[in-house]
């Protein structure tokens, strides 16, 4: 067996380095790569399952065309000719914006940028803006600190107080538990704030369970107590913070008793949290992405971040605002979240953008031109975007849909033409992480299975088919052979002298010029050069208050649908990926909704009963799991279940944007549920 260094390109914090063992041209074994200090012990169960995923019998290995409702194989030549004909005809009859190009985060890599080069040559398409995941928090951090970075992943070991606010690393970022455990073993205290009693909470001293969507008010109440007790870091505030006095005025208005009522957190626990934050230094506050998927998500994150700021927990070992670290991305000119925003200066080809948060409804409404064709790659919008049934409705009205996929997902099922997608072992590419600070190469280690062609090759062949100018093709799309791909990647690495393909082949490389302790130079690239508790941009860009504040999420439908739906991630999948594999199915055989014991008793529901979860958007039937420590009033369905399993929670979510950053307010969704049957 020969081992190669590689790294996992999924949309996941950890972005593990690992070694892959190849024998007989097949992926046989996955082993740890200790050179990555953030993921030294090895990859998670999903990563291990690559051995099955890469060799799965269910993988799509050749182009498939829908004929009379069933998919039949079609050869590449015919498939490409068909696509070229359709593209030409739609462009001639309706303009190139009648084509929707949709790509998501299924596989990361620099080569993904080739797709836009192709579509630009084509004359442009309609594209989506915004993001399903984390932009509200990114923008909140960006407004406040100027950029999104945090201390290196292993620095949490140095914290004496760890606050996991809405994050459950034990499931979603398992490798973060290593430095957390090191800190705890040394005597650090840990608080988890989450309506659920998560696996991460099992390692904590204190679990605070606010009503979903009220985290901002909880943070403001704590801030008030800290200010009143003079447990703030005055010197830090004086030197580095803009707008503390205004913030203080605002915060002192908060009525703590009222805050306890609204958040559902008893006064003594609010005081306890404030006491811990006021007396223990240094503190790392790790904010998750779930609680910013509310219509007040950006402001919520600003309120949380304010706690780091007023206690001076920024720029020191163990003192950190831990949301996202984009220091590893040394390639992008425009980083997230700004890359998600519609660009007012976009030129003609890409001037037309539609929000991913409201994809279905916008597609249905678009005119002049209407969308006639869609091209989807690296994504599964028919399962993962909110109000996914409306997206399906919109898709079904299109004349031609191309989906590039490895497996028969909900989106692939609706395609007219499926092109087999490469997997991570079949083409080299360079990736970075939003949690660990490494630049990594995922190497090509096997030839593409069956008739699989990497996207770059598909675009190359399609460009030829559409008879784009040769010199343009050469400039914009790499030739399909391995040497050309490597040359293309070398070209991308060239501006960064510390990086080269040879170096990356030996293992992960720390991003050049990254700060181990973020903001240790106390330079903030905000308009004022200071930490902006008071942000003019918040007002001008997003029309929210200049100060962090709490706005209740929409409560008008509370009477009809009394329960808050949460759709967090599970350890068993990355969004809608991996759940179809046998090794995962054995561990997680059927979809379920988790409800609290009190709610279950009220509705006479017992463990394993089938329940119906419903609201004005749609309904789902699935098994009930009963949790004695889940906050009552909350229903939890993991995101990533497929419609094919009958359990996609986006049958229930509304298409709605967050207050800032063009994120998606999945968690504003309210539902009700009832018993269907005992089995």
Partner 1 sequence: MQNYFVFDLNKCVGCEACVVACTLENGLQDPTPWRNIHTYNEAHLPGLPLFHFSLACNHCEQAPCMQNCPANAFSRDAASGAVIHHPEKCIGCKYCTWACPFDAPKYNSISGVVEKCTFCTHRVQENQKPSCAQLCPTGALDFSFADLTLDESEASSPVKVKVGSRIHTLALRNTKGPEQDLDLFLPHSLNKPNKKHFRKIKALHEWPLIVFTLLVTALVSIKTSFIQLPDAGNYYLFGFLLFAALMSTLHLGKKQRAWRALLNVKSSWLSREIAILAMFGLLMLIQLFVTTVPYWLFAFVGLLLLFSIDRLYDLATWQWPIKFHSAQTLWIGLSAIAMLNAWIYLFGLVALFRFILGFWHNYKLPENKNLFLFIGRLMLLTTVVGMFLRLPFFVLLIVFLAGEIMQRIGFYQALQVASPQNDLKIKGIHN
374's tokens? 């869609």
Do residues 73 and 62 touch, judged by C-beta distance below 8 A? Answer: yes
Residue 597 beta carbon to partner 1: minimum distance, rounded to whole angstroms: 6
Instruction: Give whichever of 198 and 356 is closer to partner 1, judged by the CB atom.
Output: 198
Among 277, 268, 169, 162, CA closest to 219: 277
Query: Which of 598, 623, 645, 676 lies at the binding interface for partner 1 (CB under 8 A)?
Result: 598
Torsion of CA 151, 154, 155, 156, to 10 degrees: 110
Q: Tell whether residue 626 is a contact of partner 1 (CB under 8 A).
A: yes
Tell me the DSSP string of 285-349: EEE-SGGGSSTTHHHHHHHHHHHHHHTT-SSBTTBEEES---TT--S-SS-TTGGGS--TT--GG
Pairwise CA distance, residues 225 & 219, whole Å: 10
Q: Tell whether residue 203 is a contact of partner 1 (CB under 8 A).
A: yes
Query: Which of 23, 601, 608, 674 lies at the binding interface for partner 1 (CB under 8 A)?
Result: 601
Strands 64-67 and 70-73: what pairing? antiparallel
Q: What is the end-to-end Cα distance of the chain in Å, rounded?
A: 48
Pairwise CA distance, residues 30 & 21, whole Å: 6
User: Which one of 122-130, 260-268, 338-346, 427-435 is the stretch in contact with partner 1 (CB under 8 A)?
Assistant: 260-268
* Residue pointed to by tokens 């605070």: 208
Q: Tell whether residue 177 is a contact of partner 1 (CB under 8 A).
A: yes
Q: Tell whether residue 207 is a contact of partner 1 (CB under 8 A).
A: yes
User: Which one of 3-11, 179-187, 443-451, 670-678 is the stretch in contact with partner 1 (CB under 8 A)?
Assistant: 179-187
Q: Tell whether residue 178 is a contact of partner 1 (CB under 8 A).
A: yes
Instruction: Give whichever of 214 and 596 is closer to partner 1, judged by the CB atom.
Output: 596
Query: Which of 2, 68, 69, 185 lies at the binding interface for partner 1 (CB under 8 A)?
Result: 185
Among 231, 306, 337, CA closest to 533: 306
Pairwise CA distance, residues 99 & 83, whole Å: 12
Pairwise CA distance, residues 40 & 18, whole Å: 9
Instruction: Give whichever of 167 and 631 is closer to partner 1, judged by the CB atom.
Output: 631
User: Prior bond to 369 cis, omega within 30?
Assistant: yes
Query: Which of 94, 120, 123, 205 lies at the binding interface for partner 1 (CB under 8 A)?
Result: 205
Residue 301 beta carbon to partner 1: minimum distance, rounded to whole angstroms: 24
Q: Tell whether residue 582 is a contact of partner 1 (CB under 8 A).
A: yes
Q: What's phi and psi for 182, nearest 5 deg? A: -60, -45
Query: Which of 53, 175, 530, 643 lies at the binding interface for partner 1 (CB under 8 A)?
Result: 175
Residue 601 beta carbon to partner 1: minimum distance, rounded to whole angstroms: 8
CB 256: neighbour CB atoms within 10 A?
Answer: 17
Q: Tell whether residue 222 is a contact of partner 1 (CB under 8 A).
A: no
Q: Tell whether residue 202 is a contact of partner 1 (CB under 8 A).
A: yes
Count the residues of the shown chain that bind partner 1, applying the rule CB under 8 A: 57
User: Which one of 135-143, 145-153, 261-269, 348-356 is the stretch in contact with partner 1 (CB under 8 A)?
Assistant: 261-269
Instruction: Give whichever of 8 and 330 is closer to partner 1, judged by the CB atom.
Output: 8
- Binding to partner 1 by CB under 8 A, coded x per residue (else -) over 532-571, reads ---------------------------------------x
User: Prior bond to 337 cis, omega within 30?
Assistant: yes
Q: Tell whether residue 199 is a contact of partner 1 (CB under 8 A).
A: yes
Residue 17 beta carbon to partner 1: minimum distance, rounded to whole angstroms: 12
Query: Which of 170, 273, 310, 574 lies at the binding interface for partner 1 (CB under 8 A)?
Result: 170
User: Which one of 137-145, 247-255, 392-400, 628-636 is the stretch in contact with partner 1 (CB under 8 A)?
Assistant: 628-636
Residue 280 beta carbon to partner 1: minimum distance, rounded to whole angstroms: 16
Do residues 283 and 308 touch, judged by C-beta distance below 8 A? Answer: yes
Q: How many CA atoms lie within 13 A of 213 on its CB side?
A: 23
| Residues paired with residue 672 on neighbouring β-strands, in sequence order | 614
Do residues 565 and 613 touch, judged by C-beta distance below 8 A? Answer: yes
Instruction: Give whichever of 52 and 393 is closer to partner 1, judged by the CB atom.
Output: 52
Pairwise CA distance, residues 244 & 546, whole Å: 12
Pairwise CA distance, residues 49 & 37, whole Å: 22
354's tokens? 């539609």
Q: Tell whether residue 197 is a contact of partner 1 (CB under 8 A).
A: yes
Instruction: Give whichever of 1 and 72 is closer to partner 1, judged by the CB atom.
Output: 1
Pairwise CA distance, residues 395 & 289, whole Å: 29
Do residues 26 and 54 touch, judged by C-beta distance below 8 A? Answer: yes
573's tokens? 């999948």
Residue 7 beta carbon to partner 1: minimum distance, rounded to whole angstroms: 14
Query: Which of 209, 292, 380, 535 lies at the binding interface for partner 1 (CB under 8 A)?
Result: 209
Query: Which of 60, 204, 324, 485 lies at the binding interface for partner 1 (CB under 8 A)?
Result: 204
Instruction: Give whichever of 408 and 630 is closer to partner 1, judged by the CB atom.
Output: 630
Instruction: Give whichever of 34 and 73 is closer to partner 1, judged by the CB atom.
Output: 34
User: Which one of 24-32, 386-394, 401-409, 560-568 is the stretch in contact with partner 1 (CB under 8 A)?
Assistant: 24-32
Query: Which of 559, 587, 604, 677 lies at the binding interface for partner 1 (CB under 8 A)?
Result: 587
Residue 628 beta carbon to partner 1: minimum distance, rounded to whole angstroms: 5
Do residues 162 and 180 touch, judged by C-beta distance below 8 A? Answer: yes
Do residues 648 and 642 touch, judged by C-beta distance below 8 A? Answer: yes
Interior/surface letters 447-468, b for 16+ CB within 10 angstroms, e for the rest: ebbeebbbbbbbbbbbbebbeb
Pairwise CA distance, residues 613 & 346, whole Å: 42
Q: Tell whether residue 265 is a contact of partner 1 (CB under 8 A).
A: yes
The secondary structure element, H or E, covering residue 43 is none
Q: Tell whether residue 629 is a contact of partner 1 (CB under 8 A).
A: yes
Q: What's phi and psi for 319, nearest 5 deg? A: -110, 115
Q: Tell whether residue 475 is a contact of partner 1 (CB under 8 A).
A: no
Instruction: Give whichever of 171 and 336 is closer to partner 1, judged by the CB atom.
Output: 171
Residue 627 beta carbon to partner 1: minimum distance, rounded to whole angstroms: 5
Residues in the chain: 679
User: Prior bond to 87 cis, omega within 30?
Assistant: no
Instruction: Give whichever of 63 and 278 is closer to partner 1, judged by the CB atom.
Output: 278
User: Which one of 99-107, 392-400, 593-601, 614-622 is the stretch in contact with partner 1 (CB under 8 A)?
Assistant: 593-601
Do residues 455 and 448 touch, judged by C-beta distance below 8 A? Answer: no
336's tokens? 């997230």
Residue 309 beta carbon to partner 1: minimum distance, rounded to whole angstroms: 27
Residue 578 beta carbon to partner 1: minimum distance, rounded to whole angstroms: 11
Question: Which of the residues 27 through 66 are near partner 1 (CB under 8 A)?
Answer: 30-32, 39, 41-45, 48-49, 51-52
Which residue ranges make up the site for partner 1 (CB under 8 A)? Answer: 16, 30-32, 39, 41-45, 48-49, 51-52, 170-171, 174-175, 177-178, 181, 184-185, 192, 197, 199-209, 264-266, 269, 571, 582-584, 586-587, 596-598, 601, 626-632
């Amino acid at each position: 067996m020969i081992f190669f260094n590689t790294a996992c390109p999924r949309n996941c914090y950890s972005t593990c380095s690992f070694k892959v063992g190849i024998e007989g041209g097949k992926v046989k074994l996955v082993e740890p790569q200790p050179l990555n200090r953030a993921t030294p012990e090895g990859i998670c169960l999903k990563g291990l399952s690559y051995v099955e995923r890469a060799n799965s019998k269910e993988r799509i290995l050749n182009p498939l065309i829908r004929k009379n409702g069933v998919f039949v194989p079609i050869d590449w030549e015919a498939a490409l000719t068909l696509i070229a004909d359709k593209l030409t005809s739609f462009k001639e009859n309706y303009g190139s914006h009648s084509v929707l190009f949709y790509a998501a985060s299924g596989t990361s890599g620099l080569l993904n940028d080739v797709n836009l080069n192709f579509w630009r040559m084509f004359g442009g398409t309609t594209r989506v803006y915004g993001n399903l995941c984390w932009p509200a928090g990114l923008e909140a951090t960006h407004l406040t600190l100027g950029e999104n970075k945090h201390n290196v992943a292993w620095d949490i070991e140095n914290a004496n107080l760890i606050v996991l606010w809405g994050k459950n690393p034990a499931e979603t970022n398992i490798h973060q538990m290593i430095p957390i455990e090191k800190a705890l073993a040394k005597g650090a205290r840990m608080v988890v704030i989450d309506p659920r009693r998560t696996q991460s909470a099992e390692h904590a001293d204190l679990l605070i369970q606010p009503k979903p969507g009220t985290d901002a008010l909880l943070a403001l109440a704590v801030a008030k107590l800290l200010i009143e007790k003079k447990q703030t870091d005055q010197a830090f505030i004086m030197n580095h913070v803009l707008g503390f006095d205004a913030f203080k005025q605002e915060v002192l208005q908060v009525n703590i008793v009222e805050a306890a009522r609204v958040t559902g957190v008893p006064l003594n626990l609010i005081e306890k949290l404030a006491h811990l934050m006021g007396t223990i230094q240094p503190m790392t506050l790790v904010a998750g992405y779930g609680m910013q998927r509310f219509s007040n998500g950006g402001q919520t994150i600003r309120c949380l971040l304010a706690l780091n700021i007023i206690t001076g927990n920024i720029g020191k070992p163990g003192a950190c605002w831990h949301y996202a670290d984009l220091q590893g991305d040394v390639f992008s000119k425009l980083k997230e979240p700004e890359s998600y925003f519609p660009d007012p200066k976009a030129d003609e080809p890409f001037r037309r953008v539609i929000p991913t948060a409201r994809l279905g409804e916008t597609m249905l409404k678009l005119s002049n031109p209407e969308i006639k064709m869609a091209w989807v790659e690296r994504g599964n919008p028919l399962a993962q975007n909110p109000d996914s049934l409306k997206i399906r409705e919109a898709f079904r009205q299109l004349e031609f849909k191309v989906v590039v996929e490895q497996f028969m997902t909900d989106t692939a099922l609706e395609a007219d033409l499926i092109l087999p997608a490469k997997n991570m072992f079949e083409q080299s590419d360079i990736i970075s992480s939003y949690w660990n600070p490494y630049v990594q190469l995922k190497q090509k280690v096997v030839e593409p299975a069956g008739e699989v062609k990497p996207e770059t090759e598909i675009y190359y062949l399609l460009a030829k088919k559409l008879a784009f100018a040769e010199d343009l093709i050469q400039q914009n799309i790499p030739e399909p052979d391995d040497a050309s791909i490597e040359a293309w990647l070398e070209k991308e690495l060239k501006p960064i002298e510390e990086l080269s393909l040879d170096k990356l082949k030996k293992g992960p490389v720390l991003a050049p010029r990254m700060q181990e302790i973020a903001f240790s130079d106390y330079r903030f690239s905000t308009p004022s050069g200071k930490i902006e508790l008071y942000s003019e941009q918040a007002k001008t860009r997003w029309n929210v208050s200049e100060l962090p504040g709490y706005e209740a999420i929409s409560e008008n439908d509370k009477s009809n649908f009394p329960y808050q739906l949460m759709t967090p991630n599970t350890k068993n999948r990355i969004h809608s990926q991996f759940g179809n594999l046998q090794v995962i199915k054995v561990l997680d055989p059927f979809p379920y909704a988790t409800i609290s014991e009190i709610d279950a008793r009220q509705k006479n529901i017992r463990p394993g009963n089938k329940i119906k979860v419903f609201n004005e958007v749609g309904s789902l039937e699935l098994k009930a799991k009963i949790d004695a420590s889940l906050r009552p009033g909350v229903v939890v369905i993991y995101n990533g279940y497929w419609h094919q399993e009958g359990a996609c929670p986006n049958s229930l979510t509304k298409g709605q944007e967050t207050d800032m950053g063009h994120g998606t307010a999945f968690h504003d969704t309210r539902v009700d549920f009832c018993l269907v049957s005992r089995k």
